[in-house]
Amino acid sequence: MLAGTHLTIGLASALAICDPRNIDQAAPVIIGAAVGSIICDMDSRDTSRIRDALYGRVIGAAVVGITVIWNAVQKGVFWETLMKIPLDRGLIGIVLFALSAVFAKKSGHRGYSHSLAALIIYAFALYMIDARFVLPFEIGFVSHILLDLTNKTPIRIFFPVKRGFCFNWFYANRAANAVCMGLGIIWLVYELNVTAGIAL
């Protein structure tokens, strides 16, 4: 599936499962899910995939930026709490997360970046930074994997095992993607409406 589909389904899933009750609970859910739903495609190499992955990163960064502004305007304390994380622990998490992302970028498409190993390493790194990011990130990441499993290109979930898996149902950039994205947008609008109603 394409980046927009991964983002909408990942964000909607995380908001539905985590069910944030206020502005400070909503911020890490949105940020974690946005990053988790697009980070799998760090390894995109061919032109069309790179372009789509780039769009995903830009939209994901915009979602994070809007969430930061939203939290500040609503006078949330999420960022004040985030700034209290011990520097050594936070630095370890950031370095580990970055190293995993670099390794993902160097691996073949749908290799390490789509694996349980990557999920575990990213989750631990985020735990070191702030545990509130972990579950939403995992939901975004897993939603990405589940959507990609429907495609005709295998993913190496059990990396470093060479064998990949897929359901071989759809092509990633065809009608199924448009349907999933449309449903994802509707679901995301609903979840954002519920979250905004609670948080405001």
| CA neighbor of 157 nearest in space, from 165, 168, 167, 147 | 165
What is the DSSP code string of 32-48?
HHHHHHHGGGGG--SHH
Q: Tokens 């980046």 belong to which residue?
A: 3
Q: Check: CB of residue 107 under 8 Å from CB of residue 113.
A: yes
For residue 42 the two structure tokens come to: 């760090």
Q: So what's the pLDDT on residue 46?
A: 56
Tens-digit pLDDT string for the chain (200 aa): 788 889 999 999 999 999 998 878 888 999 999 999 999 887 766 556 667 777 888 888 888 888 888 877 777 777 777 777 788 888 999 999 999 999 988 887 788 999 999 999 999 999 999 999 999 999 999 999 999 888 888 888 999 888 888 888 877 667 888 888 889 999 999 988 887 665 54
Phi-psi region of 168 (alpha: psi -120 to 50; beta: other; left: phi over 0): left
Chain centroid offset of residue 111 CA:
17
Q: Tokens 């989750």 belong to which residue?
A: 123
Q: What residues are paired with 165 via a beta bridge? A: 155
For helices 116-129 and 134-149, angle between their N-to-C axes, nearest 10 degrees? 160
Q: Check: CB of residue 185 under 8 Å from CB of residue 152.
A: no
